[in-house]
């Protein structure tokens, strides 16, 4: 009986939520450093596992390979025909995005789109080790796009989070988040990571001015 109930609710969720899915990454943007040599990006648009198996990035342009994975740990999660991870009756979802880097990290950009029940925004955490001490840091999201969901509480919403990592030597981290209740549908995610070896735009600008000044002096000579 419980199994049939779960299947019926999942089918209802698929029917109601699927029409909005064409906007998969609605409102997502490319951070200023994306594409710069040494930076990494991972994106998920269609998931393959709704419970306890890591999802590999599938978005075109992802360059992290298996070093970035997204896993849903709540046993009532399932993948809909749309490719979304849907968390049904009796759960709120328990998502873990793991990243293993090659270089120390300076900046992290995380964008996520959910349908229906919204995430626990204050509960989203960046977790990492620094000098063998665990750190867990929250962030205030920026809303990129939001429309009312149909038949479910909450909104279909795209959000962006940014962290600046000042602890030296941090290469690996986990992002953990969950919903405020049942009926969250995870639609899409992008993760951008900038190593500390990549100069900030201000540094590039100063370097450009320096080269221009050197060229002028050389020309006069």
The model's pLDDT over 162-204, given as tens digits with 9 standing for 90+, comes to 999 999 999 999 999 999 999 999 999 999 999 999 987 654 4
> What is d(CA 91, CA 74) in angstroms, rounded to the nearest whole number?
7
Which is more confident, 102 or 211?
A: 102
Tokens of 53: 């198996």
- Using pLDDT thresholds of 50, 70 and 90, give the confidence band for residue 133: confident
DSSP classification of residue 211: H
> What is d(CA 77, CA 52) in angstroms, rounded to the nearest whole number?
9
> What is d(CA 110, CA 44) in angstroms, rounded to the nearest whole number?
12
Tokens of 176: 């953990």
Number of domains within the chain: 1
Which is more confident, 13 or 102?
A: 102
Q: Phi/psi at 72 (nearest 5 deg)?
A: -105, 125
In this prediction, what percent of the chain has a pLDDT beyond 90? 71
State the CB neighbour count (10 A cutoff) for residue 167: 13
pLDDT at 18: 39
> What is d(CA 75, CA 53) in angstroms, rounded to the nearest whole number?
11
- Range of the structural domain that residue 159 is part of: 2-220
pLDDT at 144: 96
Q: To which residue do tokens 């941090």 refer?
A: 170
Q: Phi/psi at 123 (nearest 5 deg)?
A: -90, -10
> Pick from 95, 84, 79, 78: which is nearest to 21 by CA?
84
- Using pLDDT thresholds of 50, 70 and 90, give the confidence band for residue 219: low
């Amino acid at each position: 009986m419980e199994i049939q109930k779960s299947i019926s609710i999942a089918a209802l969720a698929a029917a109601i939520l699927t029409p909005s899915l064409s906007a998969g990454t609605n409102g997502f943007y490319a951070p200023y450093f994306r594409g710069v040599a040494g930076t990494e990006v991972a994106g998920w648009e269609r998931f393959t596992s709704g419970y306890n198996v890591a999802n590999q990035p599938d978005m075109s342009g992802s360059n992290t390979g298996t070093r970035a994975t997204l896993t849903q740990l709540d046993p009532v999660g399932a993948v809909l025909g749309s490719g979304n991870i849907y968390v049904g009756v009796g759960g709120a979802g328990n998502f873990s995005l793991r990243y293993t880097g090659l270089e120390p990290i300076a900046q992290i950009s995380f964008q996520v789109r959910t349908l229906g029940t919204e995430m626990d925004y204050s509960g989203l955490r960046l977790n990492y080790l620094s000098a063998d001490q665990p750190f867990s840091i929250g962030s205030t999201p920026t809303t990129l796009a939001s429309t009312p969901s149909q038949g479910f509480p909450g909104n279909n919403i795209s959000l962006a989070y940014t962290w600046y990592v000042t602890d030296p030597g941090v290469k690996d981290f986990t992002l953990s988040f969950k919903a405020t209740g049942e009926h969250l549908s995870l639609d899409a995610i992008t993760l951008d990571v900038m190593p500390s070896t990549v100069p900030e735009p201000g540094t590039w600008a100063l370097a450009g001015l320096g080269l221009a000044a050197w060229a002028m002096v050389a020309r006069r000579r």
